[in-house]
Amino acid sequence: MRIGISGGTNLERLGGQLEQAESEGFSGVWFAGATGADVLTTIAVAGRVSSAENIELGTSVVQTYPCHPALMAERVKATSAAVGAGRFTLGLGVSHRMVIESYGLSYERPAAHMREYLQVLRPLLRGEPVDHSGEFYNVRTQTRAASEADVPVLVAALAPAMLRVAGELADGTITWMANRSALETQIAPRLRRAADAAGRPAPRVVAGLLVGVCDDEAEGREAAARQFGFYGQLPNYQRILAVGGISGPAEAAVIGDEESVARQLAGFVEAGASEIWTVSVPVGDDRRASLARTRTLLRELASA
């Protein structure tokens, strides 16, 4: 089972984090964009200070609206060069209305915005010229240097229109707050159909999950609700929670003892996930021991 973990923002500890993750058999380290730090800079530094050579480094995710796709292409190429060819994956997302409008930007028609963003960004990453006139971007550039390797691009896609864009123009999706039912009934099949119709390879489905290993499931879900319940207030997540037949982030979390969590994670793979990206939920009074217990199981599953 391909399992990735979340990366931190402490630049002094990044090298050791990546080396440990690689030695433990994890497939990737994913860096959240909503941390108050520039995630591409964080990843570029991580790639330079670490001796890890093979582990994938990705964003989950970088907002599109505040960064023009031409500038994003230059930043991505620099990040890819810093970490080494073939190791960086760009996860993009449109974020949420309340966030984007707080910047003074319009959040109208986010799927159409993402479509144009990719139509400009992906050719630039390949070093191709762009002549694009659209609703959101008018870009005319000459050929630029390509990145050292074609950087994979994943789109945070949960709704049908965004899944269609991801399938047609990206390499897959990276999800959050989607349970097994939502993945199986909406995300994976819609994404595959869009990719097939566009003649593209089978798309990646990176399932972002809250995971907590504990003996008391009720206590674990209460901890997930307390720490991550705010996600349930955002309309984009409310919709995918409803698709999955659940009402909040605690129900979307993978909680239980070792056997239960292993079984639940395997269920996501059966439902269409190509890999899992985990955020650990500390349960109980001993936060460190709880996180260690969860990581031990994830490490065993990743190495199996």
Map residue 59 onto helix, strand or coil: strand
Q: CA angle at residue 190 from 234 to 235, to 5 degrees?
A: 10
- Alpha-carbon distance 172 to 182, whole Å? 16
- Alpha-carbon distance 131 to 253, whole Å? 44
Residue 85 pLDDT > 80: no
Q: With bands split at pLDDT 50, 70 and 90, how would you rate the model's confidence at 144?
A: low
Instruction: Tell me whether residue 28 is exposed, middle or buried, using C-beta atoms within 10 angstroms of its C-beta: 0 to 12, 13 to 18, 19 or more.
Output: buried
Q: What is the pLDDT of residues 31-75, one digit of tens each?
A: 998 767 899 999 999 888 888 888 999 999 999 999 999 999 999
Of the listed ranges 79-88, 173-182, 294-303, the one predicted with least confidence: 79-88
Residue 192, number of CB atoms within 10 A of its CB: 18
What mean pLDDT value characterizes the chain?
94
Q: What is the pLDDT of residues 5-43, one digit of tens each?
A: 999 888 888 899 999 999 999 999 999 987 678 999 999
Residue 148 pLDDT > 90: no
Residue 286 pLDDT > 60: yes
Residue 36 carries which DSSP code?
A: S
Let me know how long the chain is: 304
Residue 147 pLDDT > 70: no
CA pseudo-torsion sign 219, 225, 226, 227: positive
- Alpha-carbon distance 34 to 285, whole Å? 27
- Alpha-carbon distance 114 to 135, whole Å? 11
Q: Residue type for 103, please?
A: Y
- Alpha-carbon distance 217 to 251, whole Å? 11
State the pairing for strand pair 28-31/56-59: parallel
Of the listed ranges 1-5, 81-85, 184-188, 207-211, the one predicted with least confidence: 81-85
Model pLDDT, residue 266 = 98
Average pLDDT, integer, range 115-120: 98
Which residues, 6 or more positions from 182, have their beta carbon under 8 angstroms from its beta carbon? Answer: 158, 240, 241, 243, 244
Model pLDDT, residue 9 = 83
